Chains A and B, each alone.
Chain A
Amino acid sequence: MSEDTPPDVTPEPAATRPAGKVKPPLSRSKRQELRRKLLRTLLLTGGIVGAGLSGFLPLVYARKSRLRPPGALDEKNFLASCIKCGQCVQVCPVDAIRLADLIDGVGVGAPYIDARSQACDFSCDAVQCILACPTGSLTYNKPAFLEVRPGAQLAAKPILLAKENDPEPTLNLTERMGVARLTRPEVCLAIKGRGIKGPARGHTFRGKMRYVRIDRWKPVPIAGVRYDVEECDLCVRECPIKGAISIETVYAPDGSLRKSPVVHEPCVGCGVCEMICPTEPGSIEIVPREVWRA
């Protein structure tokens, strides 16, 4: 199109420059301003994309596995689906669930459990965090397209000792969060044959737990509960799941017989044993997302 053809007289939007039209040259200062604006735009782009990529830090921290709340999908799917709203945090009666911080990358705002300081003891009776989750990050039953890792599936629905005599004694949980493991047998009081007097974790420990023998419905501070046990069996005594752990007589590496806590298949990985263990550091720990190996 050239300038003298009549249809061109109708005003056109400034953005569509007709090929024939000569653009008036930009002034030096205008050119400079445009160049600066472009530079700033590129700078901001780089800055924010860079910050966004920092979100991938968990891939770097991948080995630092965290215990997720009950019913959590496998880690990658969990991080993909968690909307970071904290509704699971809000319903937990013992405040076991915390939200991750910036250094956890994509996990910013994603929930985890630090079992040593506050384990999930199922004092809600019904895994309410799963019920609260709006996106299915925590779920009673995995959708069909997600595979269940061998050994992650519980052989049977776990029986919650606190409601063992109820018509429905089980927890609606199909997969385990992890598995308890005696990681420091050398300090374990049960193995040493020693007892425990006084509160399990000292007077200043801030963790809470529901003790059916004290209050069926309300969790109480662990610091306020005194023990007087000849031979320590706290991990067995306080385990909320039926048949998950017991004290057995086993062969030590040197061939001698000794007593030791032994974890069984029903273990869901809630972390109560890790929290209640009176040794410092704890003798028994949850291995997050660990599966049951027979």
Chain B
Amino acid sequence: MSAILRKRFLEQILVMFGREPKKPEAISEPAQQIHLVKRTSNKEKLQAAAAHAEAHMNTSHKWRNRRWAVLVLVNLFFVFSFYFDIQILEGALTASRFIGFHLIDLNAALQVMLAHRNIITNLLIGTGTVLVLWILFGGRSFCSWVCPYHLLAEWAEKIHLWLVREKLVTDAPVDRRLRTVFWLVFALLAVATGYTVYEAISPTGIVSRALIYGPGVAMLWVLALLAFEVFFVRRAWCRYACPIGLTYGVVGILSPVRIKYTLEGCFHEGNCRKVCLVPHVLDTVIKGRAVHTEVPIGPDCTRCGLCVDVCPTGSLTYDVKGLSKLL
């Protein structure tokens, strides 16, 4: 027992017999420091700081789990429709029929239209339906909520980030303009050659068909892509190559569903940018960049909700333009 505490122990005995307690003459060094902090800051600030630290500790996976569930369910729906012949969602992600209604992937439809230059009614109906569907649901939400390659790439990304943390590989970013170049290249190739060239290497189509009709040699290309993402470039395909992503990104320009950033309350710690597939859309969260108190995130956002999950201050939320005002 230290001298200071021994002194207090004896004094407390005198207090028991009737003496009034008095201010201490000596206080230990560590206690003095805490007293100082408490004198110089107020209670609310301290509580807020503690709550914030706790929010960082509580990693929520609410949106990620919901999203994975939807992605798996949609793809299982395709699989079961064929496997058990229940005929609810027939076809693959490139084109299908939902209870008889045509649904056609926008990028696949575009490739066919450019290559074949003949648009039959069913193709037009299916493309129109999907266009309206993804305008309603948020454009690139197709990527994170439906595309089966996205899920595989998410797992590959986890391995990649672990390797980076262990300093076994380094992260190597690539020029993002590449995706636009690829979009044009594949569109031009379709027009020039009359073949839907992109469909031959589309991992979305390949994985979707592998799930429904059984895997083939084409899955080797998908595995090669995943290996490239694990060892060299984080999320290379989705970030820098996929023309489907760009097509749905353009649809997202029109979509009312987006992530909304609220400036007040944000500590600009940047955790959201670290988990984001497309961190360039989150430039507004950098200190001093927000142009308004509330800023909607741009069309390239996949509405995956990882930033919503990771944000400790609730500054990033799902938002439906117009609807939030009504509620």
Question: What is A's interface to B at a CB cutoff of 8 Å?
Answer: 36-38, 40-41, 44-45, 47-49, 51-56, 76-77, 79-87, 89-91, 99, 101-103, 105-109, 132, 134-136, 139, 143, 145-146
Q: Which of A51, A56, A83, A139 contacts B104 (CB 8 A)?
A: A83
Q: Given A48-B182, A102-B220, check contact A40 B172 (CB 8 Å).
A: yes
Of the A-B pairs whose beta carbons lie under 8 Å apart in the complex, a sample of 5, sorted by A's number, is A47-B228, A81-B115, A84-B92, A85-B96, A99-B213
Q: Given A36-B172, A108-B218, check contact A136 B195 (CB 8 Å).
A: no
**B172: nearest chain-A partner, CB-CB:** A40
Q: Which of B94, B95, B195, B220 contacts A106 (CB 8 A)?
A: B195
Q: Would you call B213 and A44 a contact (CB within 8 A)?
A: no
17 further interface pairs, Cβ-Cβ under 8 Å (given A84-B94, A135-B112) = A40-B232, A44-B240, A45-B182, A48-B182, A52-B200, A83-B109, A83-B196, A87-B97, A90-B82, A99-B209, A101-B216, A102-B216, A108-B200, A109-B199, A134-B104, A143-B118, A145-B118
CA gap between A55 and B213 in the complex, in Å:
20
CA gap between A134 and B112 in the complex, in Å:
11
Q: Which of B95, B201, B240 contacts A134 (CB 8 A)?
A: B95
Q: Mark B196-208, 1 if CB is under 8 A from A, else 0.
A: 1111110001100
Q: Would you call B126 and A134 a contact (CB within 8 A)?
A: yes
| Stretch of B153-161, B185-193, B270-278 with 4 or more beta carbons under 8 angstroms from chain A | B185-193
Contacts of B197 in A (CB 8 A): 52-53, 55-56, 106
Shortest beta-carbon distance, B20 to chain A, in Å? 66
Majority secondary structure of chain B interface residues (helix, strand, loop or mixed)? helix
Contacts of B126 in A (CB 8 A): 134
Task: Kindly list the 4 A-B residue pairs having the minimum CB-CB distance in the complex, ordered from nearest.
Answer: A55-B200, A85-B95, A101-B216, A102-B218
Shortest beta-carbon distance, A68 to chain B, in Å? 15
Q: Would you call A80 and B112 a contact (CB within 8 A)?
A: yes
Interface residues of B in 220-278 (CB under 8 A from A): 220-221, 228, 232-233, 236, 240-241
Interface residues of B in 119-144 (CB under 8 A from A): 120, 122-123, 126
CA gap between A143 and B109 in the complex, in Å:
18
CA gap between A51 and B200 in the complex, in Å:
9
Q: Which of B91, B116, B199 contacts A108 (CB 8 A)?
A: B199
Contacts of A109 in B (CB 8 A): 92, 94, 199, 205-206, 209, 218
Contacts of B109 in A (CB 8 A): 83
Contacts of A103 in B (CB 8 A): 217
**B195: nearest chain-A partner, CB-CB:** A106
Q: Would you call B120 and A55 a contact (CB within 8 A)?
A: no
CA gap between A49 and B104 in the complex, in Å:
25
Q: Would you call B198 and A52 a contact (CB within 8 A)?
A: yes
CA gap between A220 and B23 in the complex, in Å:
99
Q: Given A48-B182, A51-B201, check contact A83 B90 (CB 8 Å).
A: no
Shortest beta-carbon distance, A58 to chain B, in Å? 8
Q: Would you call B94 and A83 a contact (CB within 8 A)?
A: yes
Q: Would you call B120 and A135 a contact (CB within 8 A)?
A: yes
| Stretch of B34-42, B173-181, B317-325 with 4 or more beta carbons under 8 angstroms from chain A | B173-181
